[in-house]
Amino acid sequence: MLYIHDVWVNWFEGEENGYNICSFHEWRKSDGIEILDQAPILFIDDHTFQYIENDLQDIPQAMLDQIYQRGYIRKNQERKALDYACIVTNGKSILAFDTMGYHIPIRKSRLIPRQEGLVLDLIQGRTAKCYEVSNHTDKEFHILSLPQEYMIGLTRKERQLKQLLMIALDQLEVSNRIEEVRYWLTEWCPENYAKIKDMSFEQAWKKLYQEVVNGWSVKHEIFCKQIIKGQTFYEDIWEREHPPYSTTSLRS
């Protein structure tokens, strides 16, 4: 088995979508970087790699058996074995994961560029191994777990704020208050006020979702700030991602 040592990892916990496992250039000083003293490397097929990167289902048992307690983490000069942790690659992308003792990839991380290059060098001339993924159910995307096409090209901050906006829209749908959803749709596109005031709840909410789900812009940021106003927990998330500034109305 191949191994790599002294691996820098920046764990993103409970992430089912690969776009939220940030590449090295998006790591922050506030992130908790850890060092894997030793990590096994598995060269795997595309399907299995995508399954691990973009889901939170059981890892194939054959893979778990291969890597059991072969990875070690170093903390405060102590070396501790991890039950199921390793680095996987399909020859193009690279991902580290740690199941924290379970059978699903609870923590995931990218690697620093130099170590990514080393992994790709080590698998040169080797053949990817295919794994049988049993009891697999197709992943379902939804408003709180958007398909990749809605996140591609966005920065870490933009992805976080977009997810926050989707949470707010989900709450708006659950509230089922027609005047409220008409108000927010009018805030987004005031030029359509005459049409909006006659829309049903379902029509207005669907139109608002379709309007904001594509891309990201300053207009999205301002709208996000407005719609979460007064909700302390969400405002705290927004403040962490975006420096305070005056949020003028979308109508101005």
**Number of independent structural domains in the chain:** 2
* 148 neighbors 17 (Cβ within 8 angstroms): yes
**Residue 31 backbone dihedrals phi, psi, to 5 degrees:** -70, 150
Dihedral sign for Cα atoms in the order 118, 120, 123, 129? positive
Distances, alpha carbon 8 to alpha carbons 38, 42, 60, 110, in Å? 11, 17, 25, 9
- Claim to verify: residue 110 and residue 186 sit in the same structural domain: no
Q: Are 158 and 232 members of one domain?
A: yes
Same domain, yes or no, for 32 and 111? yes
Helical H segments across 11-74, by residue range:
46-53, 61-67
Beta-carbon contacts of 95 under 8 Å, excluding residues fewer than 6 positions away, are 18, 21, 49, 52, 53, 87, 88, 89, 108, 109, 110
Q: Rounded distance, CA 232 to CA 140, Å?
A: 30
pTM, entire model: 0.88
Q: Which range marks the domain in which residue 8 is found?
A: 2-122
pLDDT per residue as tens, the chain (252 positions) = 999 999 999 999 999 999 999 999 999 999 999 999 999 999 999 999 999 999 999 999 999 999 999 999 988 888 999 999 999 999 999 999 999 999 999 999 999 999 999 999 999 999 999 998 877 778 889 999 999 999 999 999 999 999 999 999 999 999 999 999 999 999 999 999 999 999 999 999 999 999 999 999 999 999 999 999 999 899 999 888 865 544 444 443
